[in-house]
Amino acid sequence: MALLEFYGKECPHCITMIPIVERVEKELGVEIRKLETWHDTENEALRKEKDAGKVCGGVPFFFDEATRKTLCGASSYEELKRRGPRANRPP
């Protein structure tokens, strides 16, 4: 199971998430699977599938495959860390 990040290459909100995602990956020792949707129709179809209730409707969009929870839009480091991947977290 993984945390998926759906993003658009030129999306300004997605660009602001790059250092935040990298920091979370480094500190938690996990990899967030990044899927570009603006230029990749398969990734966009997967985004639509994961956002079936149209909770977000766009990017950035995070989907936790383990919990099926979502996080919509640009988020703070604290929010992504709190709601993001669970691997290597202390109990």
Q: What is the DSSP letter of 61?
A: E
- Does pLDDT of 88 surpass 80? no
At 24 the pLDDT is: 93
Where do the domains of the chain lie? Answer: 3-83
At 82 the pLDDT is: 84
- Does pLDDT of 67 surpass 90? no
Residue 50 tokens read as 């994961």
Tell me the average pLDDT across 1-23: 94
**Cα–Cα dist 59/47, whole Å:** 9
- Does pLDDT of 89 surpass 50? no
Q: Are strands 32-36 and 3-7 parallel, antiparallel or unpaired?
A: parallel
Give the pLDDT confidence of 36-58 residue by residue, as tens digits.
999 999 999 999 999 987 889 99
Element at 36 (helix H, strand E): strand 32-36
Element at 22 (helix H, strand E): helix 12-28
pTM over 0.85: yes
CATH T-level assignment (fold) for domain 3-83:
Glutaredoxin (3.40.30)
